[in-house]
Chains A and B, each alone.
Chain A
Amino acid sequence: MKFGIFYEHSVQKPWSRQSELREYEQAMEQIVLADELGFDQVWQVEHHFLEEYSHGSAPEVFLAAAAARTKRIHLGQGIAVCLPPMNHPARIAERAAMLDLVSGGRLEFGTGRSATWTEVGGFNIDPDTTKEMWDECIRAIPKMWTEDEFEWHGKYFSMPPRNVLPKPIQDPHPPMWVAVSSPETAVQAAERGIGMLGVTLGTPADYRRLVADYRRIIKHCDPVGKFVNNQVNAASWLYCGEDPNEAKAVGGAAAFSFFQTAAHLVGLGGIYPSHAYTAQANATALLSQAEILSLREGFPVGSPEEIIQNMRYWEEVGVERVVMLINFDQAIPHKKVLASLERFAKYVMPEFTEEKVAERAKKGPAKTDGGPEAPPMAT
Chain B
Amino acid sequence: MTQQISIVTDSSVDLPAAEAARLGIETAPLQVAFSTEFFRDDALDRGEFYRRLKDEPRLPTIAAAMPSDFLTAYRKARERGERVLCLINPFESCSTYTAAYSAAVVAKRDHKIDVEVMNTGRALTALGAVAVGAAEMAARGAELADIIKAIEEATPQIDSFYAPTTNDYLRRDGRISLYEMNVGPLRGMLPLIRVWGRVAVIGKARTQAENIAKMLELAEKELAGSEAIVVVTHGNNPEGAKALAVDAQKRLRCAKMILTPLGPSAGAYCGEGTVGLGFCPSLQKLN
- List which B83-110 residues lie within 8 A (CB) of chain A: 89-90, 92-99, 101-102, 105
Which residue of chain A lies nearest to B89 when distances are taken between CB atoms in the complex?
Answer: A187
Contacts of B22 in A (CB 8 A): none
User: Are B93 and A151 closer than 8 Å at their CB atoms?
Assistant: no
Given A155-B174, A375-B105, is A222 in contact with B93 using a C-beta cutoff of 8 Å? no
CA distance A153 to B171 in the complex (A): 10
- Contact present for A275 and B64 (CB under 8 Å): yes
Q: How far is B63's CA from A277's CA once the two chains are assembled, in angstroms? A: 11
Question: Which residues 343-379 in A have Cβ within 8 Å of B in the complex?
Answer: 375-376
Q: Are B174 and A187 in contact (CB under 8 A)?
A: no
Known: A132-B175, A155-B174, A375-B101. A275 touches B63 (CB 8 A): yes
Stretch touching chain A among B195-203, B252-260, B266-274? B195-203
Bound CA span A186–B200, Å = 19
In the bound complex, do residue B119 and residue A183 qualify as a contact, i.e. CB atoms below 8 Å apart?
Answer: yes
Cα-based distance from A140 to B178 in the complex (angstroms): 8
Q: Chain A contact residues (Cβ within 8 angstroms of B): what range?
A: 35 or more
User: A21-29, A163-171, A212-220, A254-262: which one contacts chain B?
Assistant: A212-220
Given contacts A135-B178, A151-B177, contact A184 B96 (CB under 8 A): yes
A152-B177 contact given A183-B119, A222-B196, CB 8 Å threshold:
yes
In the complex, given contacts A154-B174, A182-B98, A220-B121, what are 15 additional A-B residue pairs having Cβ atoms less than 8 angstroms apart?
A143-B181, A154-B177, A154-B178, A155-B174, A155-B175, A156-B174, A184-B90, A188-B90, A213-B121, A220-B156, A275-B94, A276-B93, A278-B98, A375-B101, A376-B98
User: Does A128 belong to the interface (CB within 8 Å)?
Assistant: yes
- Decide if A131 is an interface residue (CB 8 Å cutoff): yes
A269 CB to closest chain B CB (Å) equals 9
Shortest C-beta distance, A129 to chain B (Å), equals: 8
| Interface residue from A135, A143, A151, A183 paired with B101 (Cβ < 8 Å) | A183
Chain A residues with CB below 8 A from B178, complex form: 135-136, 139, 154
Give the contacts of B154-202 with A (CB-CB under 8 A): 155-156, 173-178, 181, 196-198, 200
Is the CB–CB distance between B119 and A153 below 8 Å?
no
Q: CA A182 – CA B96 in complex, angstroms?
A: 11
Q: Which of A153, A187, A279 contacts B197 (CB 8 A)?
A: A187
25 residue pairs from A and B, CB less than 8 Å apart: A136-B175, A151-B177, A153-B177, A154-B174, A154-B176, A155-B173, A155-B175, A182-B97, A182-B98, A183-B98, A184-B94, A187-B90, A187-B197, A191-B121, A191-B197, A216-B121, A216-B152, A216-B155, A219-B155, A220-B155, A222-B200, A275-B64, A277-B95, A278-B98, A279-B95
Q: Does residue B233 face the partner (Cβ distance < 8 Å to A)?
A: no
Chain A residues with Cβ below 8 Å from B102 are 375
What is the CB-to-nearest-CB distance from B179 to chain A, in angstroms, rounded to a whole number? 10
Distance between B185 CB and nearest chain A CB, rounded to angstroms: 10
Q: Does B95 lie within 8 Å of A184, measured CB to CB?
A: yes
Main secondary structure of the interface of B (DSSP, over half): mixed
Distance in angstroms from A127 CB to nearest chain B CB is 10
Question: Could you tell me if B198 and A187 are in contact, using CB atoms closer than 8 angstroms?
Answer: no
A108 to B152, CA, bound (A): 31
* Complex-state Cα separation, A131 to B246, whole angstroms: 39
Output the least CB separation between B236 and chain A (Å).
26
- Nearest residue, chain A, Cβ from B196: A191
Q: Tell me, rounded to whole Å, the shortest Cβ–Cβ distance linking A86 to chain B.
A: 18
B61 contacts the other chain (Cβ, under 8 Å)? yes
Bound together, the chains give a CA A375 to CA B99 distance in angstroms of: 12
The residue among B63, B97, B99, B105 with the most chain A CB atoms within 10 A of its own CB is B97
Using Cβ atoms and an 8 Å threshold, which residues of chain A touch B155? Answer: 216-217, 219-220
A217-228 to B contact mask, C-beta < 8 Å, 1/0: 101101000000
Tell me, in angstroms, the Cα distance from A220 to B61 when the chains sit together: 28
With contacts A131-B93, A216-B152, A216-B155 taken as known, whether A153 is within 8 angstroms of B98 at the C-beta atoms is no
CA distance A183 to B89 in the complex (A): 10
Chain B nearest CB, measured from A187 CB (Å): 5
A67: chain B residues within 8 A (beta carbon)? none
Pairwise interchain contact B174-A184, C-beta atoms closer than 8 A: no
- Is A323 located at the chain interface by the 8 A CB criterion? no
Report the minimum CB–CB distance from A112 to chain B (whole Å): 14
Q: How far apart sit A128 and B31, CA to CA, in the bound complex (Å)?
A: 14
Contact A184 B98 (CB under 8 A): yes
Contact string against B for A residues 52-80, beta-carbon threshold 8 Å, 1 for contact and 0 otherwise: 00000000000000000000000000000
Q: How far is the CA of A182 from the CA of B174 in the complex (A)?
A: 27
Q: Is A238 part of the binding interface, using a Cβ–Cβ cutoff of 8 Å?
A: no
B182 to chain A, nearest CB (A): 9
Chain B hits for A128, CB < 8 A: 61, 93
> Which B residues are CB-close (under 8 A) to A222?
196, 200
CA distance A132 to B173 in the complex (A): 11
Residue of B102, B173, B175 contacting most chain A CB atoms (<10 Å):
B175
A140 to B92, CA, bound (A): 17
**A326 close to chain B: CB less than 8 A:** no
Q: Which residues of B are found within 8 Å of A155, using beta-carbon distances?
A: 173-175
Determine if A154 and B89 form an interchain contact, defined as CB atoms under 8 angstroms apart: no
A178 within 8 A of B: no
- The answer to whether B64 and A278 touch across the interface, beta carbons within 8 angstroms, is yes
A187 contacts B119, CB within 8 Å? yes
The answer to whether B197 and A275 have CB atoms under 8 Å apart is no
**Which residues of B from 104 to 141 have beta carbons under 8 Å from A?**
105, 119, 121
